[in-house]
Structure 1
Amino acid sequence: MASGILILILVLLVVVIGAAALPYWAEARRRPMDEWERRDAPGTCVQLSQGVTHYQWHGAVRGPVAVCVHGLSTPSFVWNGLARALGAMGYRVLTYDLYGRGYSDRPEGSQNDDFFIKQLEDLLDDQEIEEDFTLFGYSMGGAIATVFAAKHPNRVRHLVLLASSGMVMTTDRATQFIRQKQGLGDWLMLALFPGRHRRGTEAERALLSSVPDIVDLQQRELHYRGFVPAVLSSLRGILSRELQDEHRTIHRAGVPVLAIWAREDDVIPLSAMGRLTEWSRDAWQEVIEDAGHGMTYTHTDQIAAILGERLRDGLN
């Protein structure tokens, strides 16, 4: 009898350990982002100080430069529609994959302000961009663009923020717990995020998009090792605080700011608009009424129309 109970306990222990190890096993089985995976990548890959960065130039051969920084979980292809529109306006458009996403490397370490600023500084140096440029940031990319502009206001001709983080961000209790708790939070992120990412992107499959097959491209990120940990590291890093000081610095430096918000955004609520007004009263702000958080690719034409007017007028 005792031996039977012992065997049952051992079996249950093995099951529990196996279940606990499953998310880590799944992550280990994902494909590494390496030269083989990059063989068909559009654009170019370059070795920078923190790892390989994938980038593309779009639009005009000559003209003012626009640099576009994407968000938390969707790589640089999120800009493809707007890049075409900006190119038609005469811009030379540089897009790139943040570390942990797309075809860029997955270096370890905290994905905080300094981490992302260094990647952008390295890329600008590599591409020999010495003149001032228009800096675009979407969602988390808005936070990255903001901290860069606060550090280098003389390099930024215009700062354009689309559904930008750094002011107000909606997070549920599970995400808050995962962000705050080391260890258990890591396990929960590996266990829960892939399913949530698939469901969230699948919910947009019926929407019109300026980026063909964007849902499949977004879900493809889950095939690669390091993507989920990168998202978690960003939640604990650059997305962990408000950027009041940075916005006030940008305001004092006189950098023109255009912020575009989505009325139906369930990630960055419209209350962020009021927060930005408090910190940067000269910022020009627009709202797209029927758009959600994916407005960069679902409402490209409306955004392009706003950009055409405001950038032409110098945001004055």
Structure 2
Amino acid sequence: MPSSASFQCVTLTLLILPAIVLALYFLTSFPHAPDALLVNPSLASLPKHIRSWHIYPEDVYSGGAYVSFPPGRTRYWLLGPEDGIKIVLIHGLSVPSLIWKEVAPHLAERGFHVLLYDLYGRGYSDAPQTTYDVSLYTTQLALLLQYIGWDSTNLCGVSMGGGIAAAFAVQFPHLVQGDVALIATTGVVDAADLSRTSRFLSSPVMQFITASAPFRMYLRHLASNASRIDNACDELVRIQSAHLPGYNPAIASSIRDGPIRALAPVFAQLGRQMRKRAKGAAGGGRVLLVWGTRDSVVPYQYAARVRSLIGDESASMVTLDDAGHDLTVTRGDDIVQELVAFFGNEGAKE
């Protein structure tokens, strides 16, 4: 009879061998083709009776068009004379390009050639089911500039758009003429300054719940029965949240993975880049920071930190007293005045 040790050895081999064979199979088998990217629709898919068409119509600005990129369609607008100083306006976390309504047309009237567009997951741009990190946003803008034929441009971003502008200038320096304006920019926000609601709703578990069909039906019920909101931007956020299945995941992923935090190295690199450009023959290489003292979303205390990272010699600071976070809406005239003074004189051409 076989010994006890031999029996145990055979038993162990029979148990382990299938696992080894299975592991080798998975390690050496030819990989399956990846699943196709799921792309959720934009505001353009909603019925015409939904109030978004009144608050934020497709033709809210002149010169609007769509372009299709691998992650989905992007809605953009071109305003102002083609020979004017080029400037890209980048909106923030939750409100699409409606946020520039008090700024963009006035810059165009002053002779600037203005590009606006909706970020993925907002407004009239599609919402791919993917990670909404810095690379997604900067690549979207790089592809858009290539499509419209802009070799280089100035940048202006508000809130999360400021973080995107800074990261874009660092990742694609050859596409930036030299000047960048950051309005109440994110990028170095501490987790403690994010509201508990934001942190809770952006968690993976809550995103699974909010992406479910019953929950979205509940949101649509609330939106259809709630009274209208005087603030158009707030109502547009509510409509997107209730009717667009890709909106809430895009917001949550942006908070977790996007240009809200961890951009301190980007701001430092931006400063070094700007100082190098300022020493060149072509000049340029300036950063403008604009902040409101009553900003409760990205508190005013971050202004000094961002300026320190960029460097005082490269970054100038404009403080708007008693102003909150939505500067482009509530202080549009001031923003236009500061941007005209920063990027060029009225009617200036390239």
Answer yes or no: same fold by TM over 0.5. Answer: yes
1:193-219 CA-partner distances (Å, limit 9, x unpaired): x79xx8xxx99837xxxxxx4444343
Matching of residue 299 in structure 1 with residue 322 in structure 2: no
Q: Unaligned stretches of 5+ in structure 1? A: 1-30, 207-212
Q: Unaligned stretches of 5+ in structure 2? A: 1-39, 49-56, 275-284, 346-350
Work out the CA distance in 2 between the residues paired with 1:120 and 1:311.
Answer: 20
1:134-158 CA-partner distances (Å, limit 9, x unpaired): 1011111111111101112232221
In the other structure, the counterpart of 2:34 is none
- 1:94-173 aligned at under 5 Å gives the runs 94-130=115-151, 132-156=152-176, 157-168=178-189, 170-173=193-196
Q: Which has the larger radius of gyration?
A: 2
Quick one: structure 1 residues 312 and 75, their matched pair in 2 at CA, closer, same or farther if it must change by over 3 Å?
Answer: same
Work out the CA distance in 2 between the residues paired with 1:214 and 1:59.
Answer: 24
Matching of residue 73 in structure 1 with residue 98 in structure 2: no
In the other structure, the counterpart of 2:198 is 175
Alignment RMSD, CA only? 3.0
Q: Is the 8 A contact 2:44 2:124 kept in 1?
A: no
Q: Is the 8 A contact 2:131 2:253 kept in 1?
A: yes
Q: Is the 8 A contact 2:65 2:76 kept in 1?
A: yes
Work out the CA distance in 2 between the residues paired with 1:59 and 1:242.
Answer: 35
Task: Tell me the percent identity.
Answer: 30
In the other structure, the counterpart of 1:308 is 340
Work out the CA distance in 1 between the residues paired with 2:118 and 2:84.
Answer: 23
In the other structure, the counterpart of 2:256 is 236
Alignment length (residue pairs):
271
Question: 3-state SS of the aligned residue for 1:71?
Answer: coil
1:176-235 CA-partner distances (Å, limit 9, x unpaired): 3444x422454379879x79xx8xxx99837xxxxxx44443433232221111111111
Matching of residue 56 in structure 1 with residue 77 in structure 2: yes
Query: What TM-score do the two structures reach when normalised by structure 2?
Result: 0.70
Matching of residue 259 in structure 1 with residue 281 in structure 2: no
Q: Is the 8 A contact 1:247 1:280 kept in 2?
A: yes
1:70-118 CA-partner distances (Å, limit 9, x unpaired): 1111001211221112112211101001111101111111000111111
Q: Report how far residue 175 of structure 1 moved.
A: 2.4
1:244-299 CA-partner distances (Å, limit 9, x unpaired): 11111111111310010011111010111111122112211111112111111110
Query: What TM-score do the two structures reach when normalised by structure 1?
Result: 0.77
Matching of residue 268 in structure 1 with residue 298 in structure 2: yes
- For 2:240, which of 221, 226, 230 is the aligned residue? 221
In the other structure, the counterpart of 1:41 is 58
